[in-house]
A and B are shown apart, each in its own frame.
Chain A
Amino acid sequence: MEVLEQVDDHVLVSDAACLQFYKKVFPTVAKYIGKRGGTLEEAKDVFQDALLIYYEQRQIRQTVINITEKGYVFGIAKHLWSRQSKQQAMVEPWNEQKDIPEIKEETIADKQLIQLLAQAGERCMQLLKSFYYDRLDMLALAKRFGFASERSATVQKFKCLEKVRDFVKKNRWQYEDIIK
Protein backbone atom coordinates (compact mmCIF):
# COMPACT_ATOMS: atom_id res chain seq x y z
CA MET A 1 0.00 0.00 0.00
CA GLU A 2 1.33 3.38 -0.96
CA VAL A 3 0.52 6.43 1.12
CA LEU A 4 0.61 9.60 -0.93
CA GLU A 5 2.39 12.31 0.93
CA GLN A 6 2.64 15.96 0.03
CA VAL A 7 6.34 15.85 -0.60
CA ASP A 8 8.58 15.89 -3.63
CA ASP A 9 8.77 12.10 -3.93
CA HIS A 10 6.65 11.54 -7.00
CA VAL A 11 7.67 10.04 -10.33
CA LEU A 12 7.77 13.41 -12.07
CA VAL A 13 9.89 15.23 -9.50
CA SER A 14 12.82 15.14 -11.95
CA ASP A 15 13.57 13.89 -15.44
CA ALA A 16 15.83 11.22 -13.91
CA ALA A 17 13.04 9.88 -11.66
CA CYS A 18 10.60 9.99 -14.56
CA LEU A 19 13.05 8.12 -16.82
CA GLN A 20 13.50 5.43 -14.20
CA PHE A 21 9.75 5.03 -13.80
CA TYR A 22 9.25 5.00 -17.58
CA LYS A 23 11.74 2.16 -18.00
CA LYS A 24 10.15 0.24 -15.14
CA VAL A 25 6.51 0.45 -16.28
CA PHE A 26 6.45 1.06 -20.03
CA PRO A 27 7.48 -2.51 -21.01
CA THR A 28 4.33 -3.92 -19.36
CA VAL A 29 2.12 -1.40 -21.15
CA ALA A 30 3.93 -1.90 -24.48
CA LYS A 31 3.60 -5.69 -24.23
CA TYR A 32 -0.11 -5.42 -23.45
CA ILE A 33 -0.84 -3.07 -26.35
CA GLY A 34 1.50 -4.89 -28.76
CA LYS A 35 -0.34 -8.18 -28.10
CA ARG A 36 -3.62 -6.51 -28.98
CA GLY A 37 -2.47 -5.18 -32.32
CA GLY A 38 -1.47 -1.68 -31.26
CA THR A 39 1.57 0.14 -32.60
CA LEU A 40 4.56 1.44 -30.69
CA GLU A 41 3.43 5.02 -31.26
CA GLU A 42 -0.02 4.18 -29.87
CA ALA A 43 1.57 2.55 -26.83
CA LYS A 44 3.70 5.66 -26.23
CA ASP A 45 0.65 7.93 -26.45
CA VAL A 46 -1.43 5.75 -24.12
CA PHE A 47 1.42 5.56 -21.62
CA GLN A 48 1.92 9.33 -21.63
CA ASP A 49 -1.78 9.95 -21.03
CA ALA A 50 -1.83 7.30 -18.29
CA LEU A 51 1.10 8.94 -16.51
CA LEU A 52 -0.50 12.37 -16.82
CA ILE A 53 -3.80 11.10 -15.42
CA TYR A 54 -2.04 9.24 -12.64
CA TYR A 55 -0.11 12.36 -11.65
CA GLU A 56 -3.13 14.68 -11.71
CA GLN A 57 -5.35 12.22 -9.83
CA ARG A 58 -2.70 11.72 -7.22
CA GLN A 59 -2.27 15.45 -6.67
CA ILE A 60 -6.02 16.10 -6.52
CA ARG A 61 -6.91 13.24 -4.23
CA GLN A 62 -3.98 13.41 -1.81
CA THR A 63 -5.04 10.01 -0.66
CA VAL A 64 -4.18 6.38 -0.41
CA ILE A 65 -4.05 4.09 -3.41
CA ASN A 66 -4.35 0.43 -2.54
CA ILE A 67 -2.09 -0.79 -5.31
CA THR A 68 1.45 0.00 -6.40
CA GLU A 69 2.26 2.97 -8.64
CA LYS A 70 3.12 0.53 -11.41
CA GLY A 71 -0.17 -1.34 -11.03
CA TYR A 72 -2.14 1.90 -10.97
CA VAL A 73 -0.54 3.34 -14.11
CA PHE A 74 -0.90 0.01 -15.91
CA GLY A 75 -4.58 -0.12 -14.90
CA ILE A 76 -5.18 3.36 -16.34
CA ALA A 77 -3.27 2.45 -19.52
CA LYS A 78 -5.35 -0.71 -20.03
CA HIS A 79 -8.56 1.26 -19.73
CA LEU A 80 -7.35 4.04 -22.00
CA TRP A 81 -6.40 1.43 -24.58
CA SER A 82 -9.76 -0.34 -24.33
CA ARG A 83 -11.51 3.01 -24.64
CA GLN A 84 -9.44 3.80 -27.70
CA SER A 85 -9.78 0.40 -29.34
CA LYS A 86 -13.43 -0.08 -28.38
CA GLN A 87 -12.70 -3.36 -26.62
CA GLN A 88 -14.29 -2.46 -23.32
CA ALA A 89 -15.66 -5.97 -22.77
CA MET A 90 -12.18 -7.43 -22.76
CA VAL A 91 -11.03 -5.44 -19.73
CA GLU A 92 -12.15 -6.46 -16.29
CA PRO A 93 -13.92 -3.83 -14.12
CA TRP A 94 -11.60 -1.85 -11.91
CA ASN A 95 -12.31 0.13 -8.75
CA GLU A 96 -10.43 3.18 -9.94
CA GLN A 97 -12.10 3.17 -13.37
CA LYS A 98 -14.61 5.87 -12.56
CA ASP A 99 -11.74 8.27 -11.85
CA ILE A 100 -10.19 8.06 -15.29
CA PRO A 101 -10.95 11.34 -17.05
CA GLU A 102 -10.71 12.18 -20.72
CA ILE A 103 -7.39 13.78 -21.62
CA LYS A 104 -7.65 16.18 -24.52
CA GLU A 105 -4.62 17.23 -26.50
CA GLU A 106 -3.83 20.88 -25.85
CA THR A 107 -4.81 23.02 -28.80
CA ILE A 108 -2.46 25.40 -30.61
CA ALA A 109 -4.53 28.23 -29.14
CA ASP A 110 -3.92 26.85 -25.63
CA LYS A 111 -0.20 26.72 -26.23
CA GLN A 112 -0.15 30.26 -27.61
CA LEU A 113 -2.05 31.46 -24.58
CA ILE A 114 0.45 29.84 -22.24
CA GLN A 115 3.28 31.55 -24.12
CA LEU A 116 1.52 34.85 -23.51
CA LEU A 117 1.18 34.05 -19.84
CA ALA A 118 4.83 33.15 -19.56
CA GLN A 119 5.50 36.77 -20.54
CA ALA A 120 3.80 37.73 -17.29
CA GLY A 121 6.70 35.98 -15.58
CA GLU A 122 7.91 32.41 -15.91
CA ARG A 123 8.87 32.23 -12.25
CA CYS A 124 5.42 33.34 -11.17
CA MET A 125 3.81 30.72 -13.40
CA GLN A 126 6.10 28.04 -11.98
CA LEU A 127 5.25 29.10 -8.45
CA LEU A 128 1.51 29.08 -9.15
CA LYS A 129 1.82 25.69 -10.88
CA SER A 130 3.66 24.28 -7.87
CA PHE A 131 0.84 25.31 -5.57
CA TYR A 132 -2.33 24.84 -7.63
CA TYR A 133 -1.31 22.00 -9.98
CA ASP A 134 1.43 20.09 -8.14
CA ARG A 135 -0.36 20.85 -4.86
CA LEU A 136 2.74 21.50 -2.83
CA ASP A 137 1.98 22.85 0.61
CA MET A 138 3.33 26.24 1.68
CA LEU A 139 6.31 24.78 3.50
CA ALA A 140 7.43 22.80 0.45
CA LEU A 141 6.75 25.83 -1.75
CA ALA A 142 8.87 28.09 0.46
CA LYS A 143 11.67 25.53 0.35
CA ARG A 144 11.55 25.06 -3.40
CA PHE A 145 11.50 28.79 -4.20
CA GLY A 146 13.83 29.93 -1.42
CA PHE A 147 11.40 31.93 0.74
CA ALA A 148 12.23 32.50 4.38
CA SER A 149 8.85 31.36 5.67
CA GLU A 150 5.46 29.95 4.73
CA ARG A 151 4.02 33.44 5.19
CA SER A 152 6.44 34.94 2.66
CA ALA A 153 5.54 32.16 0.23
CA THR A 154 1.82 32.83 0.75
CA VAL A 155 2.23 36.56 0.09
CA GLN A 156 4.32 35.88 -3.02
CA LYS A 157 1.76 33.38 -4.30
CA PHE A 158 -1.01 35.99 -4.11
CA LYS A 159 1.24 38.65 -5.68
CA CYS A 160 1.82 36.27 -8.59
CA LEU A 161 -1.87 35.50 -8.87
CA GLU A 162 -2.61 39.22 -8.97
CA LYS A 163 0.04 39.72 -11.65
CA VAL A 164 -1.40 36.95 -13.81
CA ARG A 165 -4.95 38.21 -13.27
CA ASP A 166 -3.98 41.72 -14.33
CA PHE A 167 -2.11 40.35 -17.33
CA VAL A 168 -5.13 38.29 -18.38
CA LYS A 169 -7.37 41.33 -18.01
CA LYS A 170 -5.01 43.55 -20.01
CA ASN A 171 -4.60 40.99 -22.80
CA ARG A 172 -8.15 39.77 -22.76
CA TRP A 173 -8.97 40.84 -26.31
CA GLN A 174 -5.80 39.30 -27.63
CA TYR A 175 -6.33 35.88 -26.04
CA GLU A 176 -10.06 35.79 -26.67
CA ASP A 177 -9.23 36.18 -30.36
CA ILE A 178 -6.79 33.27 -30.03
CA ILE A 179 -9.42 31.08 -28.37
CA LYS A 180 -11.82 31.78 -31.26
Chain B
Amino acid sequence: MRTSLNELRLLEDYLQQCLPTEDKLLLEAKLILEEDLRERLSLQERCYQLIQLYGRIKTREQLQRVERQIFEQPAHKRFVQKIKQYFRYEI
Protein backbone atom coordinates (compact mmCIF):
# COMPACT_ATOMS: atom_id res chain seq x y z
CA MET B 1 0.00 0.00 0.00
CA ARG B 2 1.16 3.53 -0.62
CA THR B 3 2.40 5.65 2.28
CA SER B 4 -0.80 7.66 2.79
CA LEU B 5 -2.85 4.45 3.03
CA ASN B 6 -0.39 2.97 5.49
CA GLU B 7 -0.81 6.08 7.61
CA LEU B 8 -4.59 5.64 7.55
CA ARG B 9 -4.14 2.08 8.78
CA LEU B 10 -1.75 3.23 11.51
CA LEU B 11 -4.16 5.92 12.70
CA GLU B 12 -7.04 3.44 12.57
CA ASP B 13 -5.12 1.00 14.77
CA TYR B 14 -4.32 3.85 17.14
CA LEU B 15 -7.97 4.94 17.40
CA GLN B 16 -9.03 1.34 17.97
CA GLN B 17 -6.35 1.05 20.65
CA CYS B 18 -4.70 -1.93 19.07
CA LEU B 19 -1.24 -0.52 18.32
CA PRO B 20 1.74 -2.17 20.06
CA THR B 21 3.06 0.04 22.89
CA GLU B 22 6.25 1.00 21.06
CA ASP B 23 4.39 2.15 17.92
CA LYS B 24 1.81 3.95 20.05
CA LEU B 25 4.47 5.95 21.88
CA LEU B 26 6.20 6.81 18.62
CA LEU B 27 2.96 7.99 17.07
CA GLU B 28 2.04 10.04 20.12
CA ALA B 29 5.42 11.77 19.94
CA LYS B 30 4.77 12.56 16.26
CA LEU B 31 1.31 13.85 17.09
CA ILE B 32 2.83 16.35 19.52
CA LEU B 33 5.22 17.61 16.86
CA GLU B 34 3.12 17.50 13.69
CA GLU B 35 0.01 19.64 13.49
CA ASP B 36 -0.98 18.21 10.09
CA LEU B 37 -0.90 14.69 11.49
CA ARG B 38 -3.12 15.77 14.38
CA GLU B 39 -5.57 17.21 11.89
CA ARG B 40 -5.59 14.00 9.83
CA LEU B 41 -6.24 11.97 12.99
CA SER B 42 -9.14 14.20 13.96
CA LEU B 43 -10.61 14.04 10.43
CA GLN B 44 -10.32 10.25 10.41
CA GLU B 45 -12.14 10.01 13.72
CA ARG B 46 -14.90 12.21 12.28
CA CYS B 47 -15.08 9.91 9.22
CA TYR B 48 -15.84 6.91 11.44
CA GLN B 49 -18.66 8.83 13.13
CA LEU B 50 -20.09 9.78 9.75
CA ILE B 51 -19.90 6.21 8.45
CA GLN B 52 -21.85 5.01 11.52
CA LEU B 53 -24.43 7.71 10.88
CA TYR B 54 -24.65 6.76 7.22
CA GLY B 55 -25.13 3.11 8.23
CA ARG B 56 -27.90 3.98 10.66
CA ILE B 57 -29.70 6.18 8.13
CA LYS B 58 -29.52 3.45 5.47
CA THR B 59 -30.77 0.84 7.93
CA ARG B 60 -33.65 3.06 8.98
CA GLU B 61 -34.50 3.69 5.31
CA GLN B 62 -34.64 -0.06 4.76
CA LEU B 63 -36.92 -0.61 7.75
CA GLN B 64 -39.26 2.17 6.62
CA ARG B 65 -39.33 0.79 3.08
CA VAL B 66 -40.30 -2.67 4.34
CA GLU B 67 -42.92 -1.24 6.68
CA ARG B 68 -44.50 0.70 3.80
CA GLN B 69 -44.60 -2.47 1.72
CA ILE B 70 -46.45 -4.34 4.46
CA PHE B 71 -48.95 -1.63 5.29
CA GLU B 72 -49.63 -0.48 1.72
CA GLN B 73 -49.52 -3.56 -0.49
CA PRO B 74 -52.74 -5.62 -0.88
CA ALA B 75 -50.72 -8.83 -0.52
CA HIS B 76 -50.35 -8.14 3.21
CA LYS B 77 -53.94 -7.01 3.81
CA ARG B 78 -54.86 -9.90 6.14
CA PHE B 79 -51.74 -9.38 8.21
CA VAL B 80 -52.54 -5.67 8.60
CA GLN B 81 -56.14 -6.45 9.60
CA LYS B 82 -54.85 -8.79 12.29
CA ILE B 83 -52.50 -6.10 13.60
CA LYS B 84 -55.24 -3.47 13.66
CA GLN B 85 -57.33 -5.70 15.94
CA TYR B 86 -54.80 -5.01 18.68
CA PHE B 87 -55.67 -1.32 18.46
CA ARG B 88 -59.45 -1.57 18.37
CA TYR B 89 -60.08 1.73 20.09
CA GLU B 90 -58.37 3.58 17.23
CA ILE B 91 -60.57 5.03 14.49
Contacts and interface: CB of A to CB of B under 8 A. Distances in A.
Contacts, number: 117
Interface in B39-91: 39-40, 43-44, 46-48, 50-60, 62-67, 69-70, 76, 79, 82-84, 86-88, 90
Given A23-B79, A26-B83, A35-B86, A18 B63 contact: yes
Interface residues of B, number: 41
A40 interface: yes
Q: Specify the main secondary structure of chain B where it touches its partner.
A: helix
Contacts of B62: 12, 15, 18
A21 B41 CA distance: 40
A35 B89 CA distance: 11
Contact of A52 (B50, B56, B65, B79): B56
Given A158-B5, A161-B8, A128 B59 contact: no
Q: How large is the interface on A (under 10, 10 to 19, 20 to 34, 35 or more residues)?
A: 35 or more
A110 B54 CA distance: 9
